[in-house]
């Protein structure tokens, strides 16, 4: 072997062993470099190192996962005609239809409200594969009666998209509506016999059976997410009962001529004490569903104790085993204006599932928050829990929930998951909620955005460098023709808008087929932040050096409680 000067390695080793025979002369103090010169040299060296690793410049790597290319954040929905609470758009959900090559983004809005005690509306907008809006926003719900404490859900079926949400009333019910275009369609209540609230729906579709499956909670809700301060508006549309014995259920149904027809219903949660906020995923490879939820069967008298449970189901909704406990924790609320709970989500591969949730632990005087995951196979016990993201706090912030919202999706061609979270973080720019993502291989290994292994969990990767409040994330995957991409949706404070104005934004993350150019993550950056928004020659990226901070005075707002003064009646 030879070095760059064509000297054999054994000669180099011999040269390293030669004694130093030249005399060493002392350097006069006047000739020593000054501190300023040393500092300048170090700065120049740092710049050269950044250029050497190619900050934002592609570097070809042999094999391995592809690099992620982050396109420019795009406004999906904005409304600011009222200059009060009615300008808020939040709680997005996303789905992608490969047949039409478009996404549907849905969300909740107050724009049609006539008083502070009414419900919200579900709105939607079609997007192309780059996340660019196609056509105008359009109203989906009919009557302004969507519950204020529940996000909508959307999936793709045989004839297009299907949207579901919680409709408030004396008893909360589940509404569904097929969406194929922007024309008005009637809402339909899912015909389920119940004398209690039904809320927190999540949808999936089984293509072979041509049936939808919706999972939901039946019974009083507990600690629902808050849209704004409870002293100003009651957001507990479907109850807020610590003693609730609500159950998690799954219902299979069809849609014929726009009307939902229920086939069968199964109760999933086997314990007593209340089960809340379920999420469901379907694995085509296993022909199996998996559902996760928050569970209080072991809470006893603890007001904020929540476990995370899972249940596998066959294609016919038969329970394939008993409930599986994934995690146990106490989510003590330091301030009742913000609700802190696990918020579990789940995504499916062809060989298993990835369950993810927020976890709170206490070590001495420190409270530690993190995003945790476990892999679930078709049978047997789940894998060992592992940390996906860490929450960083330099000091306690009572009233600001470190948990927020979670999303996850799977790209089959790359055999990897993406987990997204909106959560408060301690950053150099302040303490506020930001949308973040983390790539996860099917083995549970973490990946950097450039596709290289991440050896230790970090804060995740920010996808929008604007220093402003970002809430309520959503995620959808697009596996079309090897051009793999995700679309992340989130609610963000409107640039230069008033404190009550939140819009829906989207960020497309492209992952080309393997063995392509990769963008290495810069390393000469403080570890309190993770700015891996690397520019790409094929996509418009966020220039880190030209962003004007827009940190709002209300930077203590939380993912659950937005402190908005009521200025309309």
Pairwise CA distance, residues 137 & 134, whole Å: 9
pLDDT tens column, 131-165: 999 999 999 998 889 998 889 999 999 889 999 99
Residues 355 and 347 sit within 8 Å (Cβ to Cβ): no
- 353-404 pLDDT tens trace: 999 999 988 887 777 889 999 999 988 899 999 999 998 766 666 656 556 8
The verdict on residue 39 lying in a domain is no
Confidence label for 20 from pLDDT (cuts 50, 70 and 90):
very low
CATH assignment of the domain containing 222: 2.120.10.10
Dihedral angle computed from the Cα positions of residues 252, 328, 530 and 489, in that order, rounded to the nearest 10 degrees: 20
Task: Give the domain extent around 519.
Answer: 64-546
22 in a domain, yes or no?
A: no
What's the rounded mean pLDDT across residues 44-61? 38
Cα–Cα distance, 510 to 68 (Å, whole number): 6
Nearest in space to 537 (alpha carbons), one of 512, 564, 562: 512
Establish if 5 belongs to a structural domain.
Answer: no
Supply the pLDDT for residue 464: 93
| 363 Cβ neighbours under 8 A, 6+ residues apart | none
pLDDT of 337 over the 90 cut: no
User: How many CB atoms are closer than 10 A to CB 390?
Assistant: 16
| Tokens representing residue 120 in the block | 């919200």
529 within a domain of the structure (yes/no)? yes
3-class DSSP assignment, residue 55: coil
Reply yes or no on whether the pLDDT at 11 is more than 90: no
Query: pLDDT-derived band of residue 40, with 50, 70 and 90 as boundaries?
Result: low
The Cβ of residue 242 has, within 10 Å, a number of other Cβ atoms equal to 15
Domain annotation covers residue 398: yes
Enclosing H/E stretch for 416: strand 416-427
State residue 91's pLDDT score: 93
The whole-angstrom separation of Cα 322 and Cα 379 is 11
Residue 339 has a CB neighbour count (10 Å cut-off) of 24
Domain presence at residue 286: yes
* pLDDT for res 394: 60
Q: Within a domain: residue 520?
A: yes
Q: Is the pLDDT of residue 271 over 90?
A: no
Span 165-193, mean pLDDT? 94
φ, ψ of residue 392 to 5 degrees: the values are: -110, 130
Computed from CA positions of residues 222, 332, 381, 377, in that sequence, does the dihedral angle turn out positive or negative? Answer: positive
Q: Count of domains in the chain?
A: 1
Which pair of structure tokens corresponds to residue 112?
């049609």
Instruction: Work out the burial of residue 260: count CB atoms within 10 Å of its CB; fewer than 13 is exposed, 13-18 middle, 19 or more buried.
Output: buried
φ and ψ at residue 318, rounded to 5 degrees? -85, 135
The average pLDDT across 163-183 equals 96
Residue 51 or 91, more confident: 91
Q: What CA–CA distances, in Å, run from 135 to 72, 104, 178, 436?
A: 19, 12, 18, 28
pTM of the predicted protein model:
0.80
Nearest Cα to 399, choosing from 318, 473, 337? 337
The two tokens of residue 485 are: 């991409």
Position 1 in a domain: no
């Amino acid at each position: 072997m030879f070095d760059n000067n064509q000297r054999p390695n054994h000669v180099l080793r011999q040269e390293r062993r030669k004694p130093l025979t030249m005399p060493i002369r002392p350097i006069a103090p006047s000739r020593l470099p000054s501190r300023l010169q040393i500092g300048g040299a170090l700065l120049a060296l740092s710049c050269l190192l950044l250029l050497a690793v190619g900050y934002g410049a592609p570097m070809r790597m042999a094999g391995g996962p592809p690099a992620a290319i982050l396109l420019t954040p795009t406004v999906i929905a904005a409304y600011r005609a009222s200059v009060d609470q009615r300008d808020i758009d939040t709680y997005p959900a996303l789905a992608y239809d490969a047949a039409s090559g478009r996404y549907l983004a849905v969300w909740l809005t107050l724009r049609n409200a006539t008083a502070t005690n009414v419900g919200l509306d579900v709105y939607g907008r079609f997007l192309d594969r780059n996340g660019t809006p196609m056509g105008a926003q359009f109203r989906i719900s009919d009557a302004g009666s969507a519950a204020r404490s529940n996000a909508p859900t959307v999936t793709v079926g045989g004839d297009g998209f299907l949207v579901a949400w919680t409709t408030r009333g004396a008893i909360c019910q589940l509404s569904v509506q097929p969406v194929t275009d922007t024309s008005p369609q009637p809402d339909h209540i899912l015909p389920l016999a119940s004398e209690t609230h039904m809320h927190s729906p999540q949808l999936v579709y089984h293509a072979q059976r041509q049936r939808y499956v919706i999972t939901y909670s039946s019974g009083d809700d507990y600690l629902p997410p808050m849209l704004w301060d409870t002293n100003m508006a009651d957001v507990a549309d479907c109850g807020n009962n610590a003693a609730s014995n609500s159950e998690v259920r799954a219902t299979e149904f069809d849609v014929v001529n726009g009307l939902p027809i229920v086939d069968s219903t199964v109760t999933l949660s086997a314990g007593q004490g209340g089960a809340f906020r379920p999420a469901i995923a379907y694995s085509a490879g296993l022909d199996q569903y998996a559902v996760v939820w928050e569970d209080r069967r072991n809470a006893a008298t603890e007001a904020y104790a929540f476990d995370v449970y899972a249940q596998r189901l066959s294609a016919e909704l038969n329970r394939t085993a008993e409930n599986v406990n994934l995690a146990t924790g106490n989510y003590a609320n330091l301030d009742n204006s913000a609700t802190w709970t696990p918020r579990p989500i789940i995504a499916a591969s062809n060989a298993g599932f990835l369950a993810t949730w927020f976890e709170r632990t206490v070590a001495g005087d420190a409270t530690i928050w993190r995003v945790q995951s476990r892999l679930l196979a078709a049978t047997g016990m789940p894998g060992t829990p592992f940390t996906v993201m860490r929450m960083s706090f330099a000091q306690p912030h009572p009233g600001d929930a470190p948990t927020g919202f979670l999303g996850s999706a799977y790209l089959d061609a790359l055999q990897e998951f993406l987990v997204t979270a909106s959560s408060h973080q301690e950053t150099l720019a302040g303490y506020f909620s930001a949308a973040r993502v983390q790539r996860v291989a099917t083995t549970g290994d973490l990946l950097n955005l450039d596709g290289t292994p991440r050896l230790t969990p970090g804060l995740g990767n920010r996808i929008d460098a604007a220093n402003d409040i970002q809430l309520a994330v959503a995620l959808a995957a697009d596996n079309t023709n090897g051009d793999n991409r995700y679309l992340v949706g989130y609610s963000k404070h409107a640039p230069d808008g008033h404190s009550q104005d939140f819009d829906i934004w989207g960020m497309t993350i492209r992952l080309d087929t393997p063995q392509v150019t990769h963008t290495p993550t810069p390393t000469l950056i403080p570890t309190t932040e993770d700015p891996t928004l690397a520019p790409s020659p094929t996509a418009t990226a966020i220039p880190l050096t030209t962003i004007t901070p827009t940190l709002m005075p209300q930077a203590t707002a939380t993912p659950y409680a937005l402190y908005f003064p009521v200025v309309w009646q």
